[in-house]
């Protein structure tokens, strides 16, 4: 009997940077029966093809939880890891549980809680803690000095490197021994053995700074996507006969009629059935001049009615409107790994063990064969290990791709993954010509997809105005 791989999907909470997504992917893809692993940081999704005859869903969940992340089925309540980040519900329309029918009371219009400030995140607290320990050790060195200062630096290093070493051990248990956490643990511990306690404490602090900066970059990228999702209003004014009632925008059905007053955001993609007004499409397309819309014209969710009252027949559900399609394209683009990312991933699998081996040889061969000083060559071996390993390069690529995708989506440019992102850099002079088909989300260049866009019109001025 042949087992057939099936598509499985989870929500992974606690990821706050590109390195987190890389760790989850690396730990899962080595499991037997697992293929086509996709980890998207922005909406906390793990998708893979799983042969349950070789590896069960429970084994995958156990592997991810062992790394310190939460794991839950799609539609279920998110599992909150200790001290980890959890994306607020509603940040990605249509990504969670289905909404109720349109006649339920409207949902709260309160915006989702933003990402916590940098100093309130686990990485922020770790940075502050390591910085405080380092400053305390320097103060002791200035006031007292001698062996007391040395042992204070040793204590500061051991306290600061303990959580890093714990994560390194967890990653090693998940069959990923060559990680930046393992590198830092070895370097800091080795520096203590050769008497460089102050350098060890400083290296751990600089590592905390790098982790914090990476987390901030991911937070900004996620904030850009969330701002795009927030363009769609939470409620809509549903026309029922002669009455108008506020209902959840996510519950609108195709064919229903909604009212858009001047200043309102349009709650759904649809067609105008009555009224004429200028529509500000700049939040979606970047078009600075309002577009004149009349009965029979299409409008997009998230755009702003600037002049008169409109009645709009809903043409698409919340899961299929313009904003949702943009977000889905960004999600698909993020999961499509750039060629440079795939190359660096393959390269690092061979290069990092090789650098570790060369660093080990540099530390032990000269003392053993030529009688050189152990302390000197161990120090040089640790320096080679720190300088030679491409850990920062490996984790910077997915973070850069995610930031580029979110920035492009915010400015109306959708790129099909890091492939398109890299080609934009190479083809900078290229102009993407948009024709009438761009209204339906297509572009003349198959690598890029333009956000819906209309030709410019000045708003119609009423006589006597």
Q: What is the pLDDT of residue 322?
A: 84
Does 131 fall in a domain? yes
CATH code, 25: 3.30.70.100
**Is residue 121 exposed (0-12), middle (13-18) or buried (19+ Cβ within 10 Å)?**
buried
Do 193 and 123 reside in the same domain of the chain? Answer: yes
Render pLDDT for 334-372 as a digit per residue (tens, 0 to 9). Answer: 665 556 666 666 776 777 788 888 888 998 999 999 989
Contact 226, 211 (CB under 8 A): no
For residue range 45-76, what is the model confidence (pLDDT) as tens digits?
Answer: 888 888 888 888 888 988 888 888 888 888 77
- The structural domain count of the chain equals 3
What is the pLDDT, as a whole number, of residue 71?
86
294: left (phi over 0), alpha (psi -120 to 50) or beta: beta
Task: Answer whether 324's CB lies under 8 Å from 271's CB.
Answer: no
Q: 449 lies in a domain?
A: no
85 domain residue, yes or no? no
Task: Please indicate, yes or no, whether residues 208 and 349 belong to a single structural domain of this protein.
Answer: yes
Q: Both 269 and 356 in a single domain?
A: no
In this structure, are residues 89 and 80 in contact, taking their beta carbons and an 8 Å threshold? no
Give the pLDDT of residue 3: 58
Instruction: Check residues 24 and 448 and name the one with the higher pLDDT.
Output: 24
Range of the domain at 199: 118-226+336-398
407 in a structural domain: no
Pair (201, 265) in one structural domain: no
d(CA 103, CA 100): 8
| Burial readout 381-401 (b: 16 or more C-beta within 10 A, e: otherwise) | bbbbbbeebebeebbbbbbbb
Of residues 173 and 254, more confidence is placed in 254
CA distances from 293 to 56, 213, 258, 259, 270 (A): 54, 45, 16, 15, 12
Half-sphere exposure (Cβ direction) of 3: Cα atoms closer than 13 Å:
13
Q: For 100-114, 120-134, 203-217, which range has the lowest pLDDT when averaged over its residues?
A: 100-114
Given a cut of 60, is residue 396 above it in pLDDT? no
Q: What is the pLDDT of residue 95?
A: 43
Please tell me the distance from the alpha carbon of residue 170 to that of residue 166, in angstroms, as a whole number: 6
Q: Are 432 and 448 in contact (CB under 8 A)?
A: yes
63 and 194, same structural domain? no
pTM of this structure: 0.63
If residue 257 lies in a helix (H) or strand (E), which one and from where to where?
Answer: strand 257-260
User: Which of 21-25, 77-81, 370-374 has maximum average pLDDT?
Assistant: 370-374
Residue 140 shares a structural domain with residue 222: yes
DSSP state letter for 79: P
The 3-class secondary structure across 6-43, one letter per residue, is EEEEEEEECCCCHHHHHHHHHHHHCCCCEEEEEEECCC
List the alpha helices (DSSP H) in 337-457: 339-370, 374-388, 391-410, 417-426
Which residue would you say has higher pLDDT here, 69 or 255? 255
The pLDDT of residue 431 = 44
């Amino acid at each position: 009997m042949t087992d057939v791989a099936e598509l499985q999907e989870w929500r992974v909470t606690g990821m706050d940077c590109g390195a987190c997504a890389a760790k989850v992917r690396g730990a899962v893809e080595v499991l037997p029966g697992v293929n086509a692993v996709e980890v998207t940081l922005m909406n906390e999704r793990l998708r893979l093809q799983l042969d349950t005859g070789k590896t069960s869903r429970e084994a995958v969940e156990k592997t991810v939880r062992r790394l310190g992340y939460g794991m839950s089925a799609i539609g279920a309540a998110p599992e909150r890891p200790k001290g980890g980040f959890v994306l607020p519900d509603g940040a990605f329309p249509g990504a969670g549980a289905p909404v109720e029918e349109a006649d339920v009371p409207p949902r709260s219009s309160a915006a989702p809680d933003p990402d916590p400030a940098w100093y309130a995140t686990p990485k922020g607290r770790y940075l502050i803690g390591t910085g405080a320990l380092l400053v305390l050790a320097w103060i002791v060195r200035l006031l007292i000095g001698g062996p007391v200062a040395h042992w204070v630096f040793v204590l500061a290093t051991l306290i600061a490197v303990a959580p890093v070493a714990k994560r390194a051990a967890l990653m090693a248990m998940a069959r990923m021994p060559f990680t930046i956490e393992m590198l830092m643990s070895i370097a800091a511990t080795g520096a203590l053995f050769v008497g460089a306690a102050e350098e060890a404490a400083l290296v751990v602090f600089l590592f905390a700074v790098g982790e914090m900066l990476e987390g901030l970059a991911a937070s900004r990228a996620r904030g850009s996507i969330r701002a795009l999702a927030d363009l769609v209003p939470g409620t809509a004014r549903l026309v029922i006969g002669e009455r108008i009632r506020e209902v959840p925008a996510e519950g609108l059905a195709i064919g229903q009629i909604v009212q858009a007053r001047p200043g309102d955001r349009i709650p759904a993609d649809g067609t105008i059935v009555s009224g004429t007004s200028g529509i500000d499409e700049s939040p979606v397309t970047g078009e600075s001049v309002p577009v004149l819309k009349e009965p029979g014209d299409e409008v997009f969710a998230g755009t702003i009615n600037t002049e008169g009252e409109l009645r709009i027949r809903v043409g698409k559900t919340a899961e299929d409107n313009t904003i949702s399609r943009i977000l889905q394209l960004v999600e698909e683009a993020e999961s499509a790994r750039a060629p440079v990312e795939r190359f660096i991933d393959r390269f690092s699998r061979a290069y990092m063990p090789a650098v570790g081996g060369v660093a080990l040889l540099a530390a032990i061969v000269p003392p053993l064969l030529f009688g050189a000083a152990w302390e000197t060559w161990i120090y040089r071996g640790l320096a080679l290990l720190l300088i030679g390993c491409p850990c920062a390069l490996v984790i910077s690529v997915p973070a850069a791709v995610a930031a580029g995708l979110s920035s492009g989506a915010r400015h109306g440019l959708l790129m099909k993954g890091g492939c398109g992102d890299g080609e934009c850099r190479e083809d900078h002079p290229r102009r993407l010509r948009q024709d009438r088909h761009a209204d339906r989300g297509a572009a003349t260049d198959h690598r890029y997809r333009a956000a819906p866009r209309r030709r410019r019109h000045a708003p119609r001025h009423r006589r006597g105005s």
